[in-house]
Amino acid sequence: PFFQEFQDLWPRWFGYNAFRRPFEVTRRMMDSLANDSEWRNMITSGDVELTDREFAMKVDVSGFEPKDLTVKVDSGFLNVEGRHEEKSDDGSRYVSRQFSRRYKLPPNANQEALKSALVHDGRQLRISAPLLAVESPKEQTIPIEYVK
């Protein structure tokens, strides 16, 4: 009775009483964020494609200008970074956003031929490298030693 009156005052979200299941509200909100395509794109680290001839990847760089981005290769790792800052003329507003991603390149990626380009109206950075031919190991007979 007392609790029933309190439950009736508690707001109802998503078609059920939040008082009875308080964590259900949080779970449903998190599920809706995970299913939102724009949110999912922001948290995606990048799409990597590997074919028999090319390594390629795309990184979402929405909100960044070409001058805000750097792509470097170091010791077999590809480093992609973005940093953007905005300040209002009167100093009342400051916006900063940045990201950093690090990817291990395939051992046969031609690091000297890496290319990067902005695609999809500048919203994605595509980085690619041709793969060097790898010789298949040849069959080899290994002698057996007799040890006494």
Distance from C-alpha of 21 to C-alpha of 97, rounded to nearest angstrom: 36
Tell me: do 88 and 49 sit in the same domain.
yes
* Residue 40 domain flag: no
> In 10 A of CB 109, how many CB atoms?
21
Give residue 57's pLDDT.
93
Give residue 2's pLDDT.
52
**Parent domain of 14:** 2-35
Residues of the chain with pLDDT under 50: 1, 13-14, 37-44
DSSP 30-81: HHHHHH-HHHHHHH---EEEE-SSEEEEEEE-TT--GGGEEEEEETTEEEEE
* Residue 52 domain flag: yes
Express each pLDDT in 80-118 by its tens digit.
999 999 888 888 899 899 999 999 999 999 999 999 999
Is the Cα dihedral 32, 36, 41, 46 positive or negative? positive
Give residue 120's pLDDT.
85
Tell me: do 51 and 14 sit in the same domain.
no
* Residue 138 domain flag: no
* Residue 118 domain flag: yes
Statement: the pTM of the whole predicted model exceeds 0.85 = no
Tell me: do 88 and 120 sit in the same domain.
yes
* Residue 110 domain flag: yes
Tell me: do 27 and 59 sit in the same domain.
no
Give residue 40's pLDDT.
47
Distance from C-alpha of 84 to C-alpha of 71, rounded to nearest angstrom: 15
* Residue 14 domain flag: yes
Tell me: do 77 and 97 sit in the same domain.
yes
Q: What does DSSP assign to residue 131?
A: B
Give residue 42's pLDDT.
45
Tell me: do 55 and 16 sit in the same domain.
no
Tell me: do 9 and 54 sit in the same domain.
no
* Residue 107 domain flag: yes
Give residue 129's pLDDT.
96
Give the tokens for residue 100. Answer: 């950093």
Tell me: do 54 and 120 sit in the same domain.
yes
